[in-house]
Amino acid sequence: MMMEQKRVVREHFFFYGHVQGVGFRYRAMQAARSCDVTGYVRNRGDGSVELEAEGTPRAIEEMLRLIERGRWISIDRIVRCTIPVEGSRSFEYRDEYW
């Protein structure tokens, strides 16, 4: 039996749609913490939400599935890219970026 590889990656996301004022950041924080993903989430001045997530690829995908199930959240588009791992230890809200 092979052990699952515990490769850690960090991804940077921008979520567009009905994503502010609907509990998106709270939902993201709960999803990230339940999936053992670290990083941050914050609103942006253009109405989008920015999120950085660090964890295994599987954990990040599960976090995204949980976020997308948010009751009032309506995501029209996600822009994502892989960035260097930072070794963050928690998932947090950050001040809004204007």
Q: Which of 10, 42, 43, 65 is catalytic?
A: 43
Active site residue 94: no
Hunting for tokens 């001045």 — which residue is that?
A: 45
Catalytic residue among 7, 10, 25, 94: 25
Helices (H), the chain: 24-34, 57-68
Task: List the structure tokens of 52.
Answer: 């950085």
Provide the angle, in degrees to the nearest 10, between the axes of the packed helices 57-68 and 24-34: 140
Does residue 43 carry a catalytic annotation? Answer: yes
Residue 41 tokens, joined:
């989430």
Known catalytic residues are 25, 43
